[in-house]
Structure 1
Amino acid sequence: MKKLSEIGLTVAHLSAAFLLSNCAVFVTFEEPQPFFKKSETHFSKKFQGSYVNPLDPRILTITDSAILISSDWNIEVTPNASSPIFEVNSNRDNPALVPDQDMQRDKRIANKTWNRIDTIFSLSDHHILRQFKKDYFLNYRELDNYWYLEFMTLDKNDKLLISAMFIDDLIALEQEMPLKKMLNSNGEVIKVVLKPNKKQFKKLIRREDYRLTIFKAERINSN
């Protein structure tokens, strides 16, 4: 799977420690979901805008075709230190650190705030967006070629909710549909791979206990 530095806030890393400590495993799919819906080419205007959680300093922004997370970083710079901007911007694929202009002119400043922007979802062959009823489905294809799924919706108060799918009762899930278990070197199940039919998928997403909320925030502006 991707490194944290590459994907910022995707569910597989934000919640990994929590899930594993609770004997839960990730649910993955052989193809993007819902498999019976076409892929979307953009996020609707209803979702576009910026969102913030009062307990979290980061800001999530949804554009026409991407989801971004921005956060402020305090960086200490000594008189002999080079500015990080030249290292980070040498590769435009890396998250951008946007410097204050005074920082570039005067390296004697001991502390300065930089803004880091991470793209956590961007429409592509590896990031596929689909919609079913009120939910958006964010599909991430990882290095193992399986698809990891997140749900995104707006509640009645216009709060943004992003959830991940996991399972802690494999016996119950096996009774609902066939699944393939993926094991680690110790023989422990770390994820399952599903290929549900339409009826099975609809039943699966109705199960609230299969969802873990990883981001909840209020809108602060709209595009």
Structure 2
Amino acid sequence: MRVKIILLATLILVSCGDLVRFEEPQPAGQSNEKRIPQNLVGQYLSLGDSSKLIIANGLIIKYSVSHFSDLVDSIEVKNIEGDTTFSGTEDKFRFEVVVKEDSIFQHWGYYDTLFNLAEGDILRKYKGHYFLNDRISENSWRVMILTKIDHGVTLGTISKKDDIDNLRAVTETKSDTIFSFRPTKTEMKKFLKGKGFSDRDTFFKVK
């Protein structure tokens, strides 16, 4: 039997790293690039899982796949209507699943637009890295770094406590409740030297 369901157990928890924002595009004072270099354009596969990175001239999309299985009784659901079950949360958390006897199995894929020049995101190059400044609001930017390696690229994010502690140290931010930063170019250089953006996924280019 196939049904559509919202599984509360699959809601993605937001980590401290997901809250990190910059008050201006990084690195500060660096000129903007008009497009992603042609030698980076293409499709890439992850070494760690089945995710895929798709890079165009002004767009970067990540395709990820998730698997889930559990006992039906362990899933919190509400309001069964025909062959569809709702939990009352947003539609984006509705997934197609397969129910067999007392077990439930879920397999789903989703696309995440990481960077889009057409939507106001900003690309900057510094020390061999391409800084992907994803615009959240006027003074709030999510920053990732894309680095070319032999036969592929790495994608670095700030998602580990050590990264955040390092960022607070180089910017002399004393409060541990602040997740918005405005590093100078020199401070960003120091952050990189301290192995900043340490959470890096490796993708190999598909020929």
Range into which the TM-score falls when normalised by the shorter chain: 0.5 to 0.7
Checking the alignment, whether the CA contact within 8 Å between 1:50 and 1:61 is kept in structure 2 is yes
Give the 5 Å matches for 1:192-211.
192-208=179-195, 210-211=196-197
Q: Does 1:142 align with 2:128?
A: no
The answer (yes or no) to whether the contact 1:129–1:138 under 8 Å persists in 2 is: yes
Kept after mapping to 1: 8 A contact 2:51/2:64: yes
Structure 2 unmatched ranges of 5 or more: 1-10, 67-81, 84-91, 93-106
Q: 1:46 aligns with which of 14, 32, 39?
A: 39
The answer on whether the counterparts of 1:39 and 1:130 sit within 8 Å (CA) in structure 2 is yes
> Equivalent residue of 1:142, what SS?
strand
1:203/1:14 CA distance change after superposition, 3 Å: farther
Q: Aligned match of 1:216 in 194, 202, 206?
A: 202
Aligned residues: 161
More strand by share: 2
Report the equivalent of 2:5: none
2:25 aligns with one of 15, 29, 32: 32
Deviation at 1:61, TM superposition (A): 1.1
Matches of 1:180 and 1:217, distance apart in 2? 36
Q: Is the 8 A contact 1:179 1:195 kept in 2?
A: no
Relative distance call for 1:42 and 1:207 in structure 2 (3 A) is same
User: How big is the shift at 1:180?
Assistant: 7.5
Q: Secondary structure of the residue that 1:56 maps to in structure 2? A: coil
Q: Distance in 1 between matches of 2:62 and 2:161?
A: 27
Cα RMSD over matched residues? 3.8
Q: Tell me by how many angstroms 1:154 deviates.
A: 1.5
- Please give the secondary structure, in 2, of the residue aligned with 1:35: coil
Q: Matches of 1:71 and 1:172 in 2, distance apart? A: 29
What TM-score, normalized to structure 1? 0.57
In 2: Cα distance, 1:15 partner to 1:218 partner: 28
TM-score, with length taken from structure 2: 0.61
- Please say if 1:122 is aligned against 2:108: no
Structure 1 SS opposite 2:189: helix
For structure 1, the 5+ residue unaligned runs are 1-12, 74-79, 82-93, 95-112, 182-187
> Residue 115 of structure 1: CA displacement?
7.9
What do the CA deviations read for 1:84-120 (whole angstroms, capped 9, x no partner)? xxxxxxxxxx9xxxxxxxxxxxxxxxxxx99865433
Find the counterpart in structure 2 of residue 168 from structure 1: 162
Between the aligned partners of 1:114 and 1:173, the Cα distance in structure 2 is: 35
